[in-house]
């Protein structure tokens, strides 16, 4: 079967959906952040697929930007998580109800 | 060749993501995510983005996931709590084999002289290091500088959070 743009977009959509479902279902904040990384990865695939379609190198540049954003997000997010753990001794989001009350 | 690589990497990428969500243990989840990222690098290689594919493995599967694993190990107590079973030792090579196969397939694919892909042939050197670097330091210089500021702010922010309120130099 011939591979078309649709194949890549469907794959990216499936991967994004997996990450989204994981983000909603999982209660461990660390795993939730990993799900965000997976969603970012799906977006990168869409970028690369359209860059391939138009033979445009700009798409690769934006994938690299996305890498940097993901790295920044991971660094800040994990720092916040460590701080949360220091204060409340848990990373389970169900137990973190300080903002809910 | 493109079809084989797409279906192989795509199926394994989806499988890796699914297993990451399903696994109970955070460490095992992280390992499955590394698995998925390596397969995503294969997808990038099919899309004529070899530089991005290498960076996907180096930065994502390497640096970012090491950071995640480091934090998981640091918070080991609560995260690993209630973890019933481990992956048996014999299963680890089985997990490591598909990413290795992806790498071999990708190298084989990239060495092919004539690649048409789904949108016709691309210009010579498309997606190579020099091509992307030329764009980064030419047309997209502003975005490049801005992203470096984002990274700088992230470093300072992470430091500020990590040091705690009282130890900050401006307090």
Map out the domains of chain A as residue ranges: 5-94
Query: What pLDDT was estimated at residue B76?
Result: 67
Query: What pLDDT was estimated at residue A74?
Result: 92
Query: What pLDDT was estimated at residue A9?
Result: 94
- Mean pLDDT, range B83-110, rounded to an integer: 75
* Alpha carbons A32 and B9: distance in angstroms, whole number: 24
In chain A, what residues touch B50 (CB-CB under 8 Å)?
none
For B148, the closest chain A residue by CA position comes to A68
- SS3 category, A28: strand
pLDDT of B79 > 60? The answer is no
**Could you tell me the pLDDT band of residue B128, with boundaries at 50, 70 and 90?**
confident
**Could you tell me the pLDDT band of residue A89, with boundaries at 50, 70 and 90?**
confident
CB contact under 8 A, A72 and B18: no
Cβ(B37)–Cβ(B54) below 8 Å: no
Query: What pLDDT was estimated at residue B84?
Result: 54
Q: Is B103 among the domain residues?
A: yes
Q: What is the domain-level CATH number for residue B20?
A: 1.20.120.1200
User: CA torsion sign, A95 to A99 to A100 to A101?
Assistant: positive
Which domain does B7 fall in, by range? 2-114
CB contact under 8 A, B135 and A61: yes
Q: Is B58 among the domain residues?
A: yes
Among B27, B32, B30, B6, which residue's Cα sits nearest to residue B17?
B32
Other C-beta atoms lying within 10 Å of the C-beta of residue A91:
24
In chain A, what residues touch B64 (CB-CB under 8 Å)?
37, 70-71, 74
Among A69, A22, A91, which residue's Cα sits nearest to residue B14?
A22
Of A15, A33, A58, the CB nearest to B140: A58
Residue-wise pLDDT for A26-85, tens only, equals 888 889 999 999 999 999 999 999 998 888 888 999 999 999 999 999 999 999 988 888
* Alpha carbons B101 and B9: distance in angstroms, whole number: 10
The class level of CATH for A5-94 reads mainly alpha
Report how many domains make up chain B: 1
Residue-wise pLDDT for B48-70, tens only, equals 888 999 899 899 888 999 999 88
pLDDT of B167 > 80? The answer is no
Q: What is the three-state SS of B20-55?
A: HHHCCCHHHHHHHHHHHHHHHHHHHHHCCCHHHHHH
Instruction: Give phi and psi for B118, each to the nearest 5.
Output: -85, -15
């Amino acid at each position: 079967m011939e591979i078309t743009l649709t194949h890549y977009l469907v794959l990216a959509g499936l991967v994004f959906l997996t990450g989204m479902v994981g983000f909603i279902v999982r209660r461990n904040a660390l795993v939730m952040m990993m799900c965000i990384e997976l969603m970012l990865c799906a977006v990168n695939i869409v970028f690369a697929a359209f860059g391939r379609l138009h033979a445009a190198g700009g798409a690769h540049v934006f994938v690299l930007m996305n890498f940097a954003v993901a790295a920044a997000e991971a660094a800040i997010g994990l720092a916040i998580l460590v701080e949360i753990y220091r204060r409340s001794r848990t990373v389970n989001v169900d137990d973190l109800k300080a903002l809910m009350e | 060749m493109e079809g084989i690589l797409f279906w192989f990497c795509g199926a394994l990428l989806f499988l890796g993501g699914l297993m990451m969500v399903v696994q109970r243990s955070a460490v095992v989840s992280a390992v499955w995510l590394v698995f998925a990222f390596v397969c995503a690098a294969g997808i990038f290689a099919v899309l004529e983005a070899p530089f991005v594919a290498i960076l996907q493995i180096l930065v994502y599967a390497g640096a970012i996931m090491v950071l995640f694993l480091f934090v998981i190990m640091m918070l080991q107590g609560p995260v690993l709590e209630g973890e019933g079973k481990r992956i048996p030792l014999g299963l680890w090579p089985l997990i490591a084999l598909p990413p290795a196969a992806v790498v071999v397939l990708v190298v084989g694919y990239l060495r092919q002289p004539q690649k048409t892909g789904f949108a016709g042939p691309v210009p010579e050197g498309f997606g190579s290091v020099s091509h992307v670097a030329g764009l980064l330091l030419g047309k997209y210089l502003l975005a490049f500088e801005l992203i470096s500021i984002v990274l700088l702010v992230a470093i300072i922010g992470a430091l500020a959070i990590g040091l705690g309120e009282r130890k900050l130099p401006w307090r």
